[in-house]
Chain A
Amino acid sequence: MIEVKEITKIYAATGGMLGQKPVKALRGVSLTLADGEAISLIGESGCGKTTLGRIIAGLEASTSGDLVFDGTALSTLSPRERHAKFQQVQLIQQDPYGALNPARPLGEALADPLRLQAKRLGKDASWVQMRAKELLQLVGLDPANTLYKYPHNLSGGQRQRFVIARALTVEPKVLIADEAVSMIDVSLRLGILSLLSDLRSRLGISVVFITHDVAAARYVAPKGMVCVIYRGEIVEYGATDAIIASPIHPYTQALLSAMPVLRGLEEPGPDRYIPAQDLDLRLDDEGGCLFRARCRFATDRCAQEHPPLVTVDEGRRLHSCFYPEARHVVAVPIEGASL
């Protein structure tokens, strides 16, 4: 089990229009990931979801806050011990092209971490061979046709499968998939999403799925949880189905509204609303609701007070809006127009 406790991350000013002052990427995020559970972190580019994923994977340090792995607070550990803990968490990057070394054959990319693992478990070289084949089959690749190839011989979808196989070499407890399908053809996305879902149910690996596409989250874990993040803050949290059917926070509603409507098969949802403004990280609106500049329901109160994260539905649902109202923004299938 992983507990994220009040994590904040502040990036120092880097100059340029977007960063003349420090950027608060995360403003105190807390959540819990149970073993074998799936949670989707949802938000648009720049909302802090990727930063959170990288902090959980140990690739970036937080400014404040702590991570607790199975009851052990990582801040109490030595760097070496912490490093070992972070190996339980493997990150699948967005870009399957950059994630593989172009100059080395795929078999070696898999054998390297497997050899380390073999040493740890006291296995020999034949185990490495066997395990490599096993893992490739697990992710739906043909070992005989993959091990001798170079990354550029694979399609985007095959690369991402390979990257997942490589992450599995160290037998992680958690996979963090950061926009893992956004650079892959739509036609091949579903295959990767159901692979992640399979790994969770078959191997009991927890999955943190980072995306801006709520529909994709649904295929990784229909029964999982969704955590909507806006400008470094959780604004809504709940079961995937509940969030889709009745989003409470206007930002969640905006994200769901923005999903393309398959006109002909679907009608736009009755309450569909897409804010005209872009996310503007320069806005200095501390003190009030961070979403108010783009929110069509914002009032004076939203400018003065910061809405706290409140619990409803016996703790299964969280939201931070003064005027919570479930709205139907998701497209409605047209009767009899399914394939």
Chain B
Amino acid sequence: MSAKLTDRSQQDFGLSPEVACQVRDLNVTYRVDGRELSALREVSLDIRQGQITAVIGESGSGKSTLALALMNAVSSPGRIASGRVTYRGLGEVTGMRGEELRRIRGKAISMVFQASQNSMNPLTRIGAQLLDLARSHDLPNPRAVLREAGDLASRMSLDADRVLTSYQHQLSGGMRQRVGIIFGLVLKPEILLMDEPTTALDVLSQSSVLEIVRSIQRERQLTTVLITHDMGVVAELADRVVVLYAGRVVEEASTAELLRHPRHPYTRSLIQAIPRLTGDPGDAKALEGQPPSLASVPNQGCVFRERCPYRMDVCETILPSFRFDGDGEHRFACHYEEARHD
């Protein structure tokens, strides 16, 4: 098995050098009441080597489904209906099954969840769980994992001995989230997936967790995917942003470009809806309407039109295709923006 992985690890599987993971035409559906409902529709994106790519969207946008699909961990009643997810050095994962997949998860790709306490065993001490993790991945020296965890803990200004001998309920929310990140990093994965890593935290804990992620990512050049609904977190951390709405990518750009020149009306309203400390409070506008549910996403035309201030006739029937801007680094799918700039 490990021999097979090393063989593969040198292969690029047709990816260009700056791309760590390529997602192509990914469709994920959930079977609800006899109907197949799409959670992700034709999602294509490149996750760049050594960068932090953020996926931003509201509840129901499919962002958490995307995180699961990246690990081929979508579970019933959902399934990956079509599409490919290809990693440098690992290959295509949507076709992988069982043991092959298990080896990859945690070792090559690892995930930090929103509520880290849910992914920890409440009845076992943190240290013992780390040892279990190391053993389940057949590491030659499980103790080294504890050492690594201790180092990470100290870097996160946690008392390493205390944390490793604690049960999860003995830690505060911010500490648990950091321990969740230790779990994510301790096996030295190539790719780190983080699903809402700071949502349950207050601003102070959030900002220190973000700082930790930032410094470790820089140091290890760790390819990171950050799933969130909070543009503030994106702005603090991400190099690139993919905006997801109703299961579709509607815009993608570098973070600074996206914040400064958002093209899609949805992205623009997302940024305008952030409560800020500066500027006239009257300038902020709430995003009208509600995010669509799986069942209410229109099957044709633009998915955002119901809440869009610039809705046109063409939006009802024709799905806008991507337009590229800024050397092809910025893409968006909007009829109105397209018409405005032509």
Interface: A72 (CB within 8 A): no
A326 contacts the other chain (CB 8 A): no
Q: Which of A234-281 contact B (CB under 8 A)?
A: 244, 254-266, 274-279
In this assembly, does B278 line the interface, its C-beta being within 8 Å of a C-beta of chain A?
Answer: yes
Instruction: Confirm or deny: B97 has a beta carbon within 8 angstroms of a beta carbon on chain A.
Output: no
The answer to whether A219 touches B278 (Cβ under 8 A) is no
Summed over the interface, the residue pairs from A and B with CB atoms below 8 Å come to a total of 160
Q: Are B275 and A278 in contact (CB under 8 A)?
A: no
Number of interface residues of A (CB under 8 A): 54
Chain B contact surface mostly: helix
A194 at interface (Cβ–Cβ under 8 A)? yes
B27 CB to closest chain A CB (Å) equals: 24
Q: Are A215 and B277 CB-contacts (below 8 A) given A18-B170, A185-B58, A339-B272?
A: yes
Instruction: Say yes or no: B256 contacts A263, CB within 8 Å.
Output: yes
CA distance A218 to B275 in the complex (A): 8
B174:A278 contact, CB within 8 angstroms: yes
A187 to B256: give the CA distance in the assembly, Å.
19
CB distance from A20 to the nearest CB of B (A): 11
Take A18-B170, A218-B275 as given contacts and tell me if A263 and B203 are in contact as well, using a CB distance cutoff of 8 Å. no
Report yes or no: B277 in contact with A218, Cβ–Cβ below 8 A: yes
Chain A nearest CB: distance from B163 CB in Å? 10
**Closest chain B residue to A274 by CB distance?**
B207
Given contacts A215-B275, A263-B259, A333-B279, contact A188 B157 (CB under 8 A): no
Shortest Cβ distance from A155 into B: residue: B290
Q: Tell me, yes or no, whether A36 is within 8 Å of chain B by CB.
A: no
**Chain A: minimal CB distance from B233 (Å):** 6
CB pair A266 B278 closer than 8 Å: yes
Taking A18-B170, A45-B205, A190-B285 as contacts, is the C-beta distance between A263 and B279 under 8 angstroms?
no
B145 surroundings in chain A (CB, below 8 A): none
Q: A155-B290, A188-B286, A264-B255 are in contact. Are A274 and B274 (CB under 8 A)?
A: no
Task: Name A264's contact: one of B171, B204, B208, B260 (CB within 8 Å).
Answer: B260
Inter-chain CA distance A18–B230, complex, in Å, is 30
CB neighbours (8 Å) of B291 from chain A are: 155, 185, 187
Q: Are A187 and B232 in contact (CB under 8 A)?
A: no
Check A186 against B273 for contact (C-beta < 8 Å).
yes
What's the nearest-Cβ distance from chain A to residue B276, in Å? 5
Chain B stretch 189-216: residues in CB contact (< 8 A) with chain A: 201-208, 210-211
Complex contacts, B173 vs chain A, CB 8 Å:
45
Query: Counting CB contacts under 8 A, is B331 at the interface?
Result: no
- Size bracket, chain B contacts: 35 or more
Nearest Cβ on chain B to A130's Cβ, whole angstroms: 26
Segment 75-96 of B: residues with Cβ below 8 Å from A = none
Q: Which residues of A contact B162 (CB under 8 A)?
A: 17
> Is A278 a contact of B172 with CB atoms below 8 Å?
yes
How many angstroms between the C-alpha atoms of A190 and B275 in the bound complex? 7
Interface residue ranges of B280-304 to A (CB < 8 Å):
281, 283-287, 290-291
**B207–A276 touching, CB < 8 Å:** no
Q: Is A158 an interface residue (CB 8 A)?
A: yes
B175 at the interface (CB under 8 A from A): yes
Which residues of chain B come closer than 8 Å to A194, judged between CB atoms? 286
Minimal Cβ-Cβ distance residue in A for B291: A155
In the complex, the chain B residue whose C-beta lies closest to that of A333 is: B278
Q: Contact check: which of B201, B210, B232 meets A262 at CB < 8 Å? A: B232
Across-interface contacts of A18 in B (CB, < 8 A): 170, 172
Note all chain A residues with C-beta closer than 8 A to B157.
Answer: 276-278
Q: Which of A190, A259, A276 interacts with B203 by CB under 8 Å?
A: A259
B169 at the interface (CB under 8 A from A): yes
Among B273, B281, B284, max chain A CB count under 10 A is at B281
Residues of A within 8 A of B175 (CB): 278
With CB as the reference atom, state the residue of chain A lying closest to B238.
Answer: A263
**Does B262 count as interface, using CB distance less than 8 angstroms?**
yes
0 or 1 for each of A203-243: is its CB under 8 Å from B? (1 = yes): 00000000011111011001000000000000000000000
CB atoms of A337 and B260 under 8 A apart: yes
Pairwise interchain contact A187-B273, C-beta atoms closer than 8 A = yes
Smallest CB separation, B306 vs chain A (Å): 14
Cβ A219 vs Cβ B203 within 8 A: no
Tell me if A189 counts as interface (CB < 8 A to partner B): yes
State in angstroms the CA–CA spacing of A265 and B278 once bound together. 11
Cβ A17 vs Cβ B229 within 8 A? no
Contact: B278 with A260, CB < 8 Å?
no
Residue B134 CB within 8 A of the other chain:
no
B171 nearest in chain A by CB position: A17
The answer on a CB contact under 8 Å between B284 and A219 is yes
Which stretch of B36-44, B136-144, B263-271 is in the interface? Answer: B263-271
**Nearest A residue to B307, CB-CB:** A187
With A and B bound together, what is the CA distance between A46 and B286 in angstroms?
Answer: 30
| Contact bitstring B86-124, A, C-beta under 8 A = 1, else 0 | 000000000000000000000000000000000000000
16 A-B residue contacts at CB 8 Å? A16-B169, A17-B170, A45-B201, A155-B59, A186-B230, A186-B232, A187-B229, A244-B277, A255-B204, A256-B277, A262-B232, A262-B276, A264-B257, A278-B204, A333-B278, A339-B272
| A-B pairs with lowest CB-CB distance, top 10 | A260-B232, A264-B259, A191-B286, A264-B256, A212-B202, A190-B286, A258-B207, A258-B203, A215-B275, A17-B170
Given contacts A17-B166, A186-B273, A189-B286, 4 further A-B contacts (CB under 8 A): A185-B59, A263-B259, A264-B257, A265-B271
Residues of A within 8 A of B (CB): 16-18, 44-46, 155-158, 185-191, 193-194, 212-216, 218-219, 222, 244, 254-266, 274-279, 330-333, 337-339
